[in-house]
Structure 1
Amino acid sequence: MLGILLWNVFVFAAGAVSVIVSAWWWITTQKLPEPETEKPTITDTSLPEELVDKLRQGDRFHRRETCLALNLILQFFFQEKRYEAGIMRWLTNILTLEFNDLLKHKALSKFIHNMQIRDLNLGANFPVIRAVTAKHVNLNPDTSTLEEIDIMVEVEYNGGIQLAVDASSRFSKAAMVKIKVVHLSGNGRLQFSRHPFTHWNFSFYEEPQVEFEVYSSLGLHIPRFNSIIISQLRGILKRKHTLPYFKLRGPPLIKRIIHPINEEGCSVPSGRLTGSIVKCTRLQAVLVGEVMYCTVILSEVPIVCAIEKPSGLWVIQDIILKRPQGSSAGILLRNADEGTQMVESVQQNSPAHAAGLRKNDILLAVNGTYLNSGQQAAKLFSTNNINGDSNSITLRVKRLVQPEPRKVTLVEVADQHQTQATTVVQN
């Protein structure tokens, strides 16, 4: 009786174990279907149909509109953002370039050879926009996306922006110039475009009405100095900021994409770029032959412009030199043409070597100020950058990237053969 009971218990336990083992084996060997991963969908941008219909109605959208709500928004942002470092850096950079342009004119260069912004006050308020008018809108016919927008802006400014400038005069060691914009009004064109790259620009249709106040310590010694400054400022507005002249701008409205930096200090964007040269224009007809060549340049440093000269292909680049506090840059300069400085040598493992400076580079400007002498270059190397960073210096450099191949004449070839023959005899 006991034996039969034990046998039944054994059979029951064996059956239970076999069921558990079978279930475990089935679960571990069965491949469950993987959950479907939804790929992120990319939606192309396009204008709402309501706006597209209005733009296609002809000239109906070219109507003058008042901007009370827009003015209130702009005044609020001016109130909250005017002391931000990025805004001040951008404005200081632009104004520094404009003052460097002033020094290129003979009327002012007779008295001053260097100007540097010391203080900038954005005034009490933002310019008031009296009205805006959509002058031109260019739509992509395939995607209905905006390619270019031209808006006429009626602007008036009485905020009193003012700046103080330290000037090095030819009569004394230092001079101070204060400039204040009392009034400015006119009709300007605000343009947003995707060609040749995404940018914005602003320029006046006609020369604006503007009133300046200028005070300088040189005005006591040179009575006409203040009037010269005012006339030059008016000239800059007319020559560079009145249509058909304008400047392509990015920040602060459109930010440039900053790519990560690798160990060698080079910018490495992700992806691959394939380019094809489709068309070349503005070629002299007499120089066009059966075979034409062109050069495409890729550089780790942004290229300001490229110039082709008889000596070869030159590029102008802006280089940021990061220098620890109290250390030297690690370059030796010598005088070049027109007051510029040429890099004689670059010390290995120095800040200049890390920034990518090379021997025979021509140094055009330091921190936005163009060079006139070696003494000025040495002084500018000790100043802060445009953005106020004391550990970095912005250098504008002209570099020969493709020298012109040297043409060997028959006389030179004969001289080379003669030299080789003489060497053999001596040995």
Structure 2
Amino acid sequence: MQQVTPIDMMEQKPDREEQVRRIIHVDMDAFYASVEQRDNPELRGKPVAVGGAAARGVVAAASYEARVFGVRSALPSITAKRRCPDLIFVPPRFEVYRAVSAQIHGIFAEHTDLIEPLSLDEAYLDVTDNKQGIAVATEVATRIRARIKEVTGLNASAGISYCKFLAKMASDLNKPNGQAVITPKNGPSFVEGLAVKKFHGVGPATAAKMQRLGILTGADLKAQSLAFLQQHFGKSGAWYYNIARGIDDRPVRPDRERKSVGAEDTFMTDIFELEAARSEISPLVDKVWRHCEAKNLHGRSVTLKVKYTDFQIITRSRTEAAPFGSAAEIVATAHTLLASLFPTAKGIRLLGVTLSSFADDIERGPGDQLQLEI
């Protein structure tokens, strides 16, 4: 059921004097899995997981039929199969997903040039002044979703609001194949009634910390002073202070740069020896370095990610005063970080390397990492 409350009723402003923006967050429904079901009729209506079926495999995406059983992305394949014995695994076809994504972004461009891609299957659009002169943002979203269905055969959901944070939250309200609006009048009260663990950008660790501080809802968050939030959450304190009041002034950035670039790999057998682990670092760094060179990105921070056989995940990071000048320098730093974890009694099932703190970084909202497939 679609909610189609118009967002052209801009007289109710959330204590803001500037022109209220019309922001749409478009999110494809179960994108990878839906592409596979579209291209293979035998998969339609069945629980599908995109990813490896091997014991070391991980689910990259799950169809809605699979999600009913608790199958979700990043879930180990063996666990997914246990939850859903009839689950059908299909290998990912990233070249196809990228081609479909290009079609979708072409549809976005029919309406606005202010497009901020978040991934292959979602993006923010600022349609305040759109190319087709449509006054109501809900109508723009409806047309975009209909056009995506016509061109690709796939369903998309959308959230419409006056800021990026609330547009993102709205896009989840009527999934799949729906859209919802959070108006300027209702934005602050919507945030107040929302559990902080459901806030976009608030991960499990931060949610747990907030809970320990007695912050369970947006209303609890709003009750805290800016000084209190900065004391406990550092630079993010100001962000939490604002979104608790329904305020998010971040622009939609067509030239948005990623805050980090990473690559990771899951191994067929656990690694216990340092030399074996060291040998896996170079391929990861090479992939990250190639991408960064192509995008002219120069990072100062290297982060090593380790997932053990019991699925515990730890990270170790090092930041230098100047950007790394070569892949070899990153490899050496990653090797140093890795050495500090040995000897280990637990096997390592996954290693990842991420480069961040780019030279031209500016402050942005949370969640700007690009993860490369390997």
> Normalising to structure 1: TM-score of the pair?
0.22
Query: Which structure is higher in helix share?
Result: 2
Bigger fraction of residues in strand? 1
Answer 1 or 2: higher relative contact order, Cα 8 Å, separation at least 6.
2
Which structure is larger by alpha-carbon Rg, 1 or 2? 1
TM-score, normalised via structure 2 length: 0.24
